[in-house]
Amino acid sequence: MTEPVVLISALEHFVYCERQCALIHGDGVWMDNAHTVRGSHAHRRVDSGLHRRERGVLTLRSIPLWSETLGLSGRADTVEFNEGAVYPVEHKSGVRHGKAADLQVCAQAMCLEEMMHVDIPVAYVWYGGPRRRAKVLLDHQLRTDVIETVESVRAQLLSGELPAAPNDARCEECQLEPHCLPSATATATRIAALTSEALLL
Ligand code: SF4
């Protein structure tokens, strides 16, 4: 079987909720909610593809990325060229949520390194909530986390399995909640587990 190429965006979905990743990247489900609409609105400028040069920094927008080595593809919101350095800048409309954005921008940098034969030791994530840019050190641990997450997403896609719903606080913020029905599926999973236990007695 051909190994599926993993989309960089799948890493963020997988880290947020493995079931969300399977629904979006395995089953092709997509729904918008207030968070995704706000994100799309905030992305209009980076999605425009218009490039600019300002104070010596060349900024390219909406750049396609891929890595043959990792079996990964996607798109960088922006890539900056600044005094001989090149690095991606990921744009988020809200505030930092764990390490998901760090993984995403590290994956983008690893693709750029392979495509351009450069070393990229740092990248950045711009958060629209505080309107601040956070520096992300692309160290060995973060790169290892990217590789392991790509492998986990690929294994999930190959298995075709849909993980059980965690049915926790994440579901309140999730755009797929109306499709996923986490409380109903979590109950069904619990009943199935109890039934299996009873049959083994
Ligand atoms: S509603 Fe909850 S369980 Fe379902 S995909 Fe979203 S976060 Fe995951």
Q: How far is the CA of 13 from the centre of ligand 1 (A)?
A: 10
Our answer on whether the CB atom of 180 is closer than 6 Å to any ligand 1 atom is yes
Mean of pLDDT values over 3-32? 95
Return mean pLDDT, the chain.
90
- Closest residue CA from atom 4 of ligand 1: 180
* Banded model confidence at residue 36, pLDDT cuts 50, 70, 90: confident
Which pLDDT value is given to residue 94? 86
Which pLDDT value is given to residue 107? 98
Our answer on whether the CB atom of 7 is closer than 6 Å to any ligand 1 atom is no
Which of 120, 111, 103, 107 is closest to 67 using CA atoms? Answer: 111
Which pLDDT value is given to residue 185? 77
pLDDT: is 32 or 126 the higher one?
126
Read off the amino acid at residue 175: Q
Which pLDDT value is given to residue 189? 67
- Taking the C-alpha atoms of residue 60 and residue 136, their distance in angstroms, rounded to an integer, is 19
* Residue 42 reports pLDDT greater than 80: no
